[in-house]
Chains A and B, each alone.
Chain A
Amino acid sequence: MANPSIVKKPSAEEKAERIGDQVLALDVKRVADWIQALVRTLKAYRMYLPNNPTLHKFQSDLEARTWSCLKEIGDIVLNVQQFDLLFEDYSVYHNAAREESLAFRFYTDGVRQITFREGLEPQELRGILEVLKKATDPTQGQDDVVTLLWERDFRHVEYVHISIDEIVEEGSGADYPPDPNAPDGGGIPWPVSSVAAEQEAPIQGPEETVVDRSDDWSPKAKVEATWDESSVGIQFNLTDQETRALNEAIRVEEERPLLNEVLEIVSAILKSEEEPTSFLESATSFQKFIEQALEEGDLARANELLSRLRTIAAKRAETHGEFRALTEQVIREIGRPSFLGQFAPILNAHPELDPALLTNFLVQIGPTAAGAVCDLLGQVNHMKHRRALCEALAISCKDDVDVLISRLGDSRWYVIRNVVYVLGRIAHQGVERALDRALHHEDVRVRKEAVRALGNIESPTSRAFLVSAFRDLDASVRVQAALTLAQRRDDRAAQSLWGAIQAPDFAKRDQAERQVFFEALGKCASDAFVPRLSELITKAGLFRGPNEEERFSAALALAWLGTPKALEVLNRELQSKKEQVRRSIETALETVRNAALGKGAKGPADDDAPAQESGPAEGTP
């Protein structure tokens, strides 16, 4: 009986097979890792600008893995299944999420096998990434992986694909079954037969003008049945000079400024239109070019095209008044949310875009884009772009703030704050009630912005809302309200501030806030308040604790007031026998002097103005 502990030694064949299996397993892992690197880099391609160092890191890693893989394994042949890429019948990539699956993209475009040959060059690898990026970009329309790979004509990448007919079970051609009985008026196909056409053609009246066929190339003279080259003096062989001329023509064609030429054509067509329908159609073609410029982040071109469209329309409207409205209709269409909404990633990817151009473009589109621009406010990362958006809204919506007001119900605080800022810029009387809503928003930054906005509106209502903000739960809002109200520089404002100072809970507020209220009072009050303030300097008891703070605050208010009467009080008290009084007055005067010279800390109201980096970007989903 054989000893069970003795293991039979593997035969040479078994050994080789086992080694082979191990090598294969290693290869499979290598390829899987390589594809993962490819997918990662592809994602990075979509996320980062070409000069981004992170992208470069991904690229370098991918390149290293690619060369190593090809060196170790040789040609990599991947078979494509719906959600998998197979190497030697093993799945080296699986992703069933249709939107992002690389395998699914290949599969749906008909690629069934793809081979990466040894010798693959770095530019080919980058080219493959470009192809995949483009093929997965939903905005590009007329290509798929197969057509893009074909155009690249890679030397070291081969692919096997099936036809579109086989991919799509019911080809689109099936939508148009041949119908021999179809009426002839539908355009095409044509002609069915010359005889039938002759019978069916409308009879031409005798008075009708007749012209030749546009597509009739019939020679006027009879063509000879044989060719005598010498008789017409044509030599058919191209001379060297002619060949050079043709090569030059190809070079010119390659470098042709296609876009400019097409724009000239489209402009010429637009200028020539006589009918409203065709004018609208041409203007819509123009619109596509404007939108494309925007998609490419070329704001200068977008502005130029928009201006050109307006110029052409204005000229044409001299004789065809209705063309102006049609043009505006087209321009308004550019501002549709479904289109402008796509603009946020472009702005985020191009921080260098000129904000003035952005503002100008959006202003040209007009108020109908306001909704979409408000949406952008919630998506754009760069402050200067948000500022440009706000600027555009402030100009576009100056006569109609309803869109803006409706946005005050947005769930994102940063959007509301920017909208409130715009409302403040517009300073439209009648929006105070809307701003009052913002004044009660849960986020303090919104409330502060609402205070600033109310400050821009000269109305009793806004004044009342500002005064109501003195009771805000947050000190910074109260401070902002005091300083904002002080900008009115009238006794009514001063009276409101004095009322707040006199209120029982004022003493409970912290010292800095109390001082700001006095400062505000000083900035807006008149000489009518000098006796009251003077009394505070010489008397005590308003505040709890030592009287020095009270004295200093009153002195500060008088110093800010700065009228001869106020200065007279201060000068008088500078001679006071009490050192504390003198010191309070000296400090107050010094504080105001420094503030006038621009020294000292930044004012609290300026720390978080809208459209700053700390704004929308924080909460951008």
Chain B
Amino acid sequence: MTGPAARPPAPHAGLTDTPVLRILVQGRSLAMQLCVLLKTAKIHDVGNVAFHGPLVNFIETVEQLFTAEGEFKLQAVGDFLYINQGRLKLDGSSYASYQYLIDEFRNRGLSGFAFNGKVTPPEVKKFVRLFLDVDVKAEDPYEGFSAALLKLSVEHLVPLRTVVPQTGAINVEEARDSRKVAKRTFYRAIEATKTVMLSGRDKKPIDLRKAKRAVQSIVDLILNEEFSLIGLTAIKNHDEYTFQHCVNVSILSISLGQRLGLNKKMLGELGVAAILHDLGKATIPGWVLNKPGKLTAEEWKLMTDHPVQGVKMISKLRGLNELALRAMIVAFEHHLNIDMSGYPKLGDHLAMSLFSRIVAISDCFDAMTAHRSYRRTPFTPYEALHHMLVANREKFDPLLIKAFVNTVGMYPAGTVVLLDTNEIGVVTEHNSRDIFRPKVKIVADRDRKKVDGALVDLSKREEGSDTYAVGIVSALIPEEYGVNVADALT
């Protein structure tokens, strides 16, 4: 493969106007409130005073949405919730609620509900009672539920039936379970990281147990190779960037550590150290972190002090055990380079630890592939890797960077690629036998029309031939082609 290829014309990018965003925010509220409503009704009768608050909130939100949108739908598709056509953004704090609703809908054979009018308190109370009374073991729970709603004149909440996949249902379920576990682990890790960092920021005692458990689950998943967590790191959530970045660095570091042959305990320590690597940034004001332009000397000083701040914060942990010591070293060294350039420049520091060298690589890779305030368009994973291997190769441990490429592939998960079939695909998983030939999910056909295409293994050869069936022409910038990487990866 040689030479840059001309990039194909971009299809229409998604809408980002304010009304759409507002609907999504209200949709989020609706989903969260419905979740609270159902959970409350499981404990208290719908006539109980405890039910009143959630009921009022829910009715108000339905009213706002109906006023803005007219008839609207709240639906679960795959592992996401949608309000009409807009997917509700998943983050650490909403993950558990969304998952609860998706599971509850699925158990009742529902994909969700259509709201065709403003709802009243009696109507909602009847709806909730009936919803919870559905016999989930019945052959067709939807049927009975739907009939019961009609019988009790619940007219503005219309249940929508799940569309059952026609083929390979069992495999789909299995894959879904595996994905679900991975996603749950991922979002729990983000929540745990958030708790740790915000505790650090507010000078509260830091409890690492949650983060440790999350990391241990990540290690288990990576060791069992059940589902590519690396793929999840490619889904960037701007709102929770800091926390997700730490989790991503942890996942990438553990993956690299596993590739190197670190034992389970060390992988756990590496993962936690990686989660804590940027803890010191909790002390930096948001406007400095978010500043789009260059930094003043004072801001720069603040920024470059975060490794030192990290050490100080970790030193406050109860019990300075091996894990805490490793985390302190990583926090201190992760902005040093292999030639000991970088910062902070204190004492006679002679060499970086292996953990720090691993985290430095993961940190750089994830930071480059994320949206940053000072860089409108993130680098594609492919570009980031290219940059680390060529332009900045003297900064990283040459052996580790090689091992890293072998871990994530030359086209890491999340890379949007133009195939030689002229289709566009998103790399979902790398191929450990051939780092140049990952698995790709087709997201646009040769006419640039968006499709929910097949998963193609690029290492497959044409039947009876040594020639590969499909190859990569070039990596693309997703924003230029309106590709939603998250959709393909989840």
Contacts and interface: CB of A to CB of B under 8 A. Distances in A.
Contacts of A123: none
Given A192-B239, A225-B476, A226-B2, 18 more contacts: A151-B264, A176-B198, A180-B25, A187-B201, A191-B241, A201-B290, A210-B295, A213-B294, A214-B295, A218-B368, A219-B391, A231-B2, A246-B399, A258-B329, A261-B353, A266-B315, A269-B308, A271-B346
6 contacts: A142-B319, A150-B268, A189-B239, A225-B7, A228-B2, A246-B403
Nearest to B206: A142
A250 B201 contact: no
B207 A236 contact: no
Contacts of B265: 151, 153
A200 B287 contact: yes
A214 B291 CA distance: 12
A281 B262 CA distance: 34
A142 B199 CA distance: 14
Task: Among B264, B315, B324, B383, find the residue whose CB has the most chain A CB atoms closer than 10 A.
Answer: B315
Interface in A185-234: 185-194, 197-198, 200-202, 204, 208-221, 223-228, 231-232, 234
B93 A173 contact: yes
B343 interface: yes
Interface string B97-124: 0000000000000000000000000000
A197 B315 contact: no
B290 A192 contact: yes
B402 A272 contact: no
B318 A142 contact: yes
A595 interface: no
Interface residues of A, number: 94
Contacts of B195: 171-173, 175-176
A153 B284 CA distance: 38
Given A150-B268, A186-B201, A192-B290, A262 B329 contact: yes
B194 interface: yes
Interface stretch (B67-75, B130-138, B369-377): B369-377
Contacts of B4: 224-226
Contacts of A142: 207-209, 212, 317-319, 321, 323-324
A242 interface: yes
A375 to B, nearest CB: 23
B335 to A, nearest CB: 7
A258 B326 contact: yes
Nearest to B219: A150
Contact of B285 (A147, A150, A185, A281): A185
A338 interface: no
Interface string B136-151: 0000000000000000
Contacts of B93: 173, 177-178
A189 B209 contact: no
Interface string B250-293: 00000000001110111010000000000001111111011111
B88 interface: no
A253 B213 contact: no
A189 B243 contact: yes
Interface stretch (A282-290, A392-400, A474-482): A282-290
B1 interface: yes
A236 B402 contact: yes
Contact of A226 (B5, B208, B392): B5
Contacts of A224: 3-4, 386
Given A189-B241, A238-B406, A211 B475 contact: no
Contacts of B387: 217, 219, 223
Interface residues of B, number: 120
A285 B315 contact: yes
A231 B390 CA distance: 10
B270 to A, nearest CB: 9
B196 to A, nearest CB: 9
A63 B473 CA distance: 64
Contacts of A575: none
Closest 3 CB pairs of A and B: A141-B318, A268-B347, A197-B290
A175 B206 CA distance: 13
A242 B402 contact: yes
A253 B354 contact: yes
A288 B316 CA distance: 8
Interface string B381-413: 011101111111000000110110110001000
Interface string B61-97: 0000000000000000000000000000001110010
A238 B402 contact: yes
Contact of B399 (A150, A213, A238): A238
Contact of B286 (A140, A186, A204, A213): A186
B468 interface: no
B128 interface: no
B369 to A, nearest CB: 10
Contacts of A550: none
A163 B373 contact: no
A252 interface: yes
Interface of B: 1-5, 7, 25, 91-93, 96, 188, 191-192, 194-195, 197-199, 201, 207-210, 212-213, 216, 238-243, 260-262, 264-266, 268, 281-287, 289-297, 300, 303-304, 308, 311-312, 315-326, 328-329, 332, 335, 343, 346-349, 353-355, 364, 367-368, 371-376, 379, 382-384, 386-392, 399-400, 402-403, 405-406, 410, 435-436, 472-476
B392 A219 contact: yes
Contacts of A153: 264-265
A369 B299 CA distance: 42
A198 B292 contact: yes
A270 to B, nearest CB: 10
Given A173-B93, A238-B403, A201 B475 contact: no
Contact of B311 (A150, A180, A285): A285
A140 B351 CA distance: 30
A143 B290 contact: no
Contacts of A178: 91, 93, 239
B303 A213 contact: yes
A206 B296 CA distance: 11
B296 to A, nearest CB: 5
Contacts of B303: 213-215
A261 B364 CA distance: 24
Contact of A228 (B1, B241, B325): B1
Nearest to A140: B319
B328 A265 contact: yes
A160 interface: no
B67 to A, nearest CB: 21
Interface in A138-152: 139-144, 146-147, 150-151
B329 A261 contact: yes
A534 B178 CA distance: 109
A184 interface: yes
A360 B376 CA distance: 60
B319 A234 contact: no
Contacts of B403: 238, 246
Given A164-B213, A214-B304, A238-B406, A288 B320 contact: yes
Interface in A577-617: none
Contacts of B25: 180
A165 B199 CA distance: 17
Contacts of A208: 296-297
A249 interface: yes
A250 B329 CA distance: 16
Contact of B354 (A140, A191, A249): A249
A259 interface: yes
A175 B371 CA distance: 27
A272 B349 CA distance: 14
Nearest to A269: B308
A245 B397 CA distance: 12
A576 interface: no
Interface string A276-302: 000001100100110010000000000
A378 to B, nearest CB: 27
A91 interface: no
A208 B294 CA distance: 10
